[in-house]
Structure 1
Amino acid sequence: MSIHAVSKHLGIRWETVKNIDKAFLLSTLPALEPEKITSLVHIGVDEVARAKGHDYMTVVYDLVSGQLIWVDHGRTSNVLINFFEQLSQQTRDGIRAVSMDMGQSYQSAVRKVLPNADIVFDRFHVMQNYSLLIRKERNKAFRNGTHHEKKMLKGTLFLLLKNAPNLNDKQSDRLDDLLESNKTLCTIYMLKEQLQALWDEPDYDSMITALEAWCQLAKKTRILSLINFADALWDRRIGICNYAKYRLTNARVEAGNVSIGLLRRRARGVRDTEYFKLKIRQTSIKEAQSIFYPEIKLT
């Protein structure tokens, strides 16, 4: 139940309910003690909004166990460095790979404190950036199109973003008509399919080779957005192709972020950052149970 619902049901102030819950979480949640963590091998790092479009929190997961091991306010390199420096030297030395998006701040923290760890850029974020490119090019085509072309483009964004096997026959036929009528979108869509295939490469060297071929192909299209995207990928080729070494993604982190997003929306605004951190930690505990009905699992 939300704090508002409990407050209304019991006839007490919202702040009182929040403070009771906060005190309960402080007394019952296992402490986050980085200095006691051992045997870290692969970790995932990401940012999550404290409020939509506003400040952010940094979350760190152990990708082997799937457990949240750190959450703090902010998304600068210093926030992540603070976590790393609380780990023992032996634990830091044991971290082989860190999965993350392509932002600079987390990269800087890893390179400063974990010089021997490989950075792995999460494939979800790479493809998410490509989806933004598709969205922009489709919007440009709509703005500049004739009445007939606009009619053809209307309601087609999801067709361009979804993977072909997930389309039904009617959707596939409509996508075929769209791609046949718009050469730029056809090129971008075909390159999307080829880009996704990069993560099927069996090893680092073959993935680098495949990425180089993809970037060269993208540049030959003379589509400026594709050229810029290809340049950005090539600059980050090591982190992208490190996937082939470790087969790591931030899927567990993204699943946690979905839960955090639901928590934020249900709260309708977060005014107490420390309480929000406690609620994030609560969502990460798989078998939380009701204090009133211990036999009923809440997650």
Structure 2
Amino acid sequence: FEFMDHVGDEWMSKVEAVACDMNSDFEEAFKGRYPKLDIVYDRFHIIKNFNDKVVSEIRKDEQRRLSEEGSPEAAKLLKNSRYILMSKRSTLVQKDEDARKGKLVYTAGEIFNTPEIKAHGGNEVWYDELLEENKLFFTIDLVKDLLDQAYNSHDEVEMCVRLEEIIDICKA
């Protein structure tokens, strides 16, 4: 790792923790050379990983299940729900408010002859319907909320409590 060579062992001996994304190569490189270092994953990558590995996969599995059970319309509705399921409720509320105000999300373009696009509403209602109809989506929402609470916590004990709650939900 060029960074460690550049700063040197003396400088690295004063480092207690390293924040990195969830690429295992980074963790292995730091831990291999400095085993006492704590590795800290940043909020963005934790949430992104959760959305990619959990939310997206469960949504796809549910979509596949509905298709196989003969509910192609229900499956089709899930196809476009990825953004809704990955979003925080506050984001959906803001998007709905933007739609009520007629906010533009894309300005018309003459070069490619693209129309202007205004924000569309109904996001929070759709989200609630998805949670109501599917226990897995409801569980995802609980875990997503607890992850958010854990990362917003400024108290280590409170953060650990939220993470333990996530583990308990996943075991159930």
TM-score, normalising length from structure 1?
0.43
- Equivalences for residues 56-95 of structure 1 within 5 A: 80=1, 82-95=2-15
| Structure index of larger Rg | 1
- Given that residues 18 and 39 in structure 2 are in contact (C-alpha distance below 8 angstroms), is that contact kept between their aligned partners in structure 1? yes
1:180 to 132, 138, 156: 132
Query: How far off is 1:88 after superposition?
Result: 3.5
1:209 aligns with 2:134: no
- 1:195 equivalent to 2:115? Answer no
User: 1:27-106 counterparts in 2 under 5 A?
Assistant: 80=1, 82-106=2-26
Offset from partner CA, 1:137-159 (integer Å, 9 cap, x none)? 11111122113422442421111
Counterpart amino acid of 2:63? F
Distance change in 2, residues 1:87/1:105 (3 Å):
same
Is the CA contact 1:152–1:178 (under 8 Å) kept in the aligned structure 2? Answer: no
* Distance in structure 1 (CA, Å) of the matches to 2:32 and 2:75: 50
| Amino acid corresponding to residue 153 of structure 2 in structure 1 | E
The 1-side partners of 2:30 and 2:156 are apart by 21
Q: What is the rounded CA distance, in whole Å, between the counterparts of 1:151 and 1:184 in structure 2?
A: 18
Q: 1:166 aligns with which of 86, 91, 94?
A: 91
Q: Is the 8 A contact 2:146 2:165 kept in 1?
A: no
- The partner residue of 1:142 within 63, 68, 74 is 63
Q: How does the TM-score come out when normalised to structure 2?
A: 0.71
* Residue pair 2:19, 2:42 contacting (<8 A) in 1 also: yes
What whole-Å deviation, never above 9, does each CA across 1:261-293 have from its counterpart, x for those lacking one? xxxxxxxxxxxxxxxxxxxxxxxxxxxxxxxxx
Structure 1 residues 148 and 112, CA gap change in structure 2 (3 angstroms):
closer
- Structure with more of its chain in helix, by fraction: 2
Query: How much does 1:120 deviate?
Result: 0.8
By relative contact order (CA 8 Å, sep 6+), the higher-ranking structure is 1
- Correspondence for 2:107: none
Partner of 1:58: none
Residue 122 (1) aligns with residue 47 (2): no
Counterpart contact for 1:85–1:113, Cα < 8 Å: no
Residues matched between the structures, number: 140
Q: Counterparts of 2:12 and 2:136 in 1: how far apart (Å)?
A: 47
Q: What per-residue deviation string (whole Å, max 9, x for no partner) do you get for residues 204-236 of structure 1?
A: 33322321221111210xxxxxxxxxxxxxxxx
Query: Secondary structure, in 3 states, of the residue corresponding to 1:159?
Result: helix
What residue ranges of structure 1 are gaps of 5+ in the alignment? 1-79, 221-299
